Amino acid sequence: MGAFLDAIASRDVAPAGGSGAATVGAIGAALAEMAAVHTAAAGHQEAQVEGIGERLAADRALLLALADADARLVESAFGGTPALDRHVQEQLVAIPLAIAETCLNVLSGASELSSLAIDSVGQDLQTGRMLLTGALRAALATASGNLDFLEGPARDRLADRVAAAENAAASLFDADRRE
């Protein structure tokens, strides 16, 4: 973890914000997964909780892969290349958007788990949800801001997905406030 943070803090262009958001999301997913593992081990709603845990594990792995993909993309986009081609421009939105969408999936699983989790992991689950919320907000801000690199149908298509993710996040945040 220290080497990763040193790399972010270095003069290199990557890893950067998207990789950081994805990694924070993966940590949040790991905490939610831990809550599922301990809850299932205690025999509480074992089959249901194990299913949630498996989805959380898959999303954690995806977030780590997205962190790596974002670092490669940022290096390719801003590491000295004179101009951004269309594919790179689209990926500057698509990768942070995928991070946001994955964080939404994890938050949904964590919300489902919150009513099932044993008391001893409740605070860890809450910490995971807070980390995921920050990662989600950061990824959405990056995806939305990077829409400026695009124009035409690709921009419209990705802008619709960003708006859908923003709406899903707003609904999730509203539900959390009501809890």
Residue 139 sits in a domain whose CATH number is 1.20.120.680
Rounded percentage of the chain residues whose pLDDT exceeds 90: 89
Q: Is the pLDDT of residue 177 over 80?
A: no
In a domain, 168, yes or no: yes
In a domain, 64, yes or no: yes
Kindly indicate the confidence band of residue 178, based on its pLDDT and cuts at 50, 70 and 90.
Answer: confident
**Would you report the helix, strand and coil content of the chain in percent, each value rounded to 5?**
85, 0, 15
Cα 141 to chain centroid, rounded: 12
- d(Cα 57, Cα 77) in Å, to the nearest integer? 30
In 3D, which of 88, 87, 86, 110 has the Cα closest to residue 34? Answer: 110
In a domain, 125, yes or no: yes
- Residue 57 sits in which domain range? 14-178
**Mean pLDDT value across residues 102-117:** 96
Q: What are the backbone dihedrals phi and psi of residue 83, each rounded to the nearest 5 degrees, phi first?
A: -140, 150
Q: Cα dist. 131→62, 87, 158 in Å?
A: 16, 30, 25
In a domain, 1, yes or no: no
Tens-digit pLDDT profile for residues 5-33: 999 999 999 999 999 999 999 999 999 99
Q: How many domains does the chain have?
A: 1
Burial of 25 (0-12, 13-18, 19+ CB in 10 A): buried
In a domain, 119, yes or no: yes
Q: Is the pLDDT of residue 148 over 80?
A: yes
- d(Cα 103, Cα 18) in Å, to the nearest integer? 12
Q: Is the pLDDT of residue 57 over 70?
A: yes
Kindly indicate the confidence band of residue 179, based on its pLDDT and cuts at 50, 70 and 90.
Answer: low
In a domain, 57, yes or no: yes
In a domain, 5, yes or no: no
- d(Cα 9, Cα 151) in Å, to the nearest integer? 32
Rg for the chain (alpha carbons), in Å? 17
In a domain, 28, yes or no: yes
Tally DSSP H helices, then E strands, for the chain: 6, 0
